[in-house]
Amino acid sequence: MTHVFLLSLLLQLGTARGASPAATFCVHVDSTRREVILTAGPFRVAAADHAMSGMHGGGGGGGSEQHGEVLVQRFSWPASVWVRGYRLRLFDARGRALPRRWIHHLYVVDFDRRELVYPIAQRVFGMGRETPDVMLRSTIGIPVAAGHELGLYLMWDNDTGAEVDDVYLELAFRWTASSQHPSPLQVFPFFVDAHVALGSDWSFEVPPGGGSATYEFTLPISGRLRMAGGHLHDHGLTLRLEDGLTGVPLVTLRAQRDSSGRLLRVPYRILAVRDSGPHLVAGRRYRLVATYDNPTPRPLAAVMGTLAGLFAPDSPERWPSVDAEDPTFELDRRLLTTSHPGGGAQAGACHERR
Ligand SMILES: [Cu+2]
């Protein structure tokens, strides 16, 4: 669950891991199960180059450094609902289950809502290879509005050593009933990165002996951080969110590692049951610090530090709106559009495959 809301920041050019040209993409609403179901395939998935993908010890959904990401499809979200969880499966042409680990990471971008910290399209949802299916309590939900333009991105990680054909994926989002009382708490995905470099590489280097990366930021609106998870690479120690003026730590996430420093996971923390969790104030300075040790004689190359979680605004209606003219937004949208080869999926005849 650590990486559920970890947002993939994708900033580098990728090369296509192909899809069969005949792949289709379907959006289906199942009101009985309260699910929006995305289905895509068949994909032809090349064998992974493991020298490259092995760098993600914790299997994160972070990963500006990822090559090989594909844009599966841009699509219009079909219903105004509050999403509370998802399930993902891979299957073959006969409906038989395929290993889910063949997806290295996957994320969904909402081009009609922006991030809180950055003026870029919101990464609504992201998951890494080890992320299990997730269901939040029914008392909270992430609102996604009908008609918003979304994009589904993923990177394959076919570890069989040979190309596999006829791979289908199904990604189902469960929503919370809007009629329930009291009405659910609105939460929004939130992320901040310790080494921001929009349009280029978000990773950084750690010298022998260890070091850290620090990023200071302010928020345009106030609210509470309700849940926090993180993304670090091997030898990562902590992710700390602190007050920029006083240095008082607000959230500290400690990596779990093996004796060699290999990252096992960054535990997520639920910060609030109902009315707690750190209250972050608009305009006040905050600081994210990612710390690493480095017992090796060489610099650690291309490491990352990302905090991602759920943010409950004091006034959800004051969430800043997208400024499509903003050069940062425009650059991000361009990278999300042009630097991603299409996965080959096309809206077309949709079959029920369940
Ligand atoms: Cu990473």
Q: Span 276-284, mean pLDDT?
A: 93
Asked if pLDDT for residue 319 goes beyond 50, the answer is yes
Q: How far is the CA of 66 from the centre of ligand 1 (A)?
A: 8
> C-alpha distances in angstroms, 276 versus 138, 224, 226, 262, 273?
18, 8, 8, 33, 6
Per-chain residues with Cβ under 5 A from ion ligand 1: 62-63, 304
- Which residues, listed in sequence order, are joined to residue 291 by a DSSP beta bridge? 212, 238
Q: How far is the CA of 234 from the centre of ligand 1 (A)?
A: 10
Q: Which two tokens stand for residue 35?
A: 């699910």
- The residues, ordered by sequence, that sit 6+ positions from 305 with a Cβ below 8 Å of its Cβ are 193, 194, 195, 204, 213, 230, 231, 232, 236, 239, 288, 289, 290
Given a cut of 50, whether residue 15 has pLDDT beyond it is no
Proportion of the chain above pLDDT 90, given as a percent: 61
All structural domains of the chain with their residue ranges:
24-184+332-347, 185-316
pLDDT for 64: 36
Measured CA to CA, the distance from residue 31 to residue 178 in angstroms comes to 12
Residues contacting residue 56 through CB under 8 Å, at least 6 positions apart: 62, 63, 104, 128, 129, 233
- The matching CATH number, chosen from 2.60.40, 2.30.29, 2.30.230, 2.60.120, for 24-184+332-347 is 2.60.120
Confirm if 90 and 100 have CB atoms less than 8 A apart.
yes
What distance in Å separates the CA atoms of residue 193 and residue 118, rounded to the nearest whole number? Answer: 10
Domain 185-316, what fold? Jelly Rolls (2.60.120)
- Kindly tell me if the per-residue pLDDT of 8 is higher than 50: no
Selected residue with higher pLDDT from 266 and 6: 266
Q: What is the pLDDT of residues 85-107, one digit of tens each?
A: 999 999 999 999 999 989 988 99
Centre of ligand 1 to C-alpha 304, Å, is: 5
Closest CA to 143 of 80, 101, 235, 100: 80
pLDDT in tens, 40-84: 999 999 998 765 444 443 333 333 334 578 899 999 999 999 999
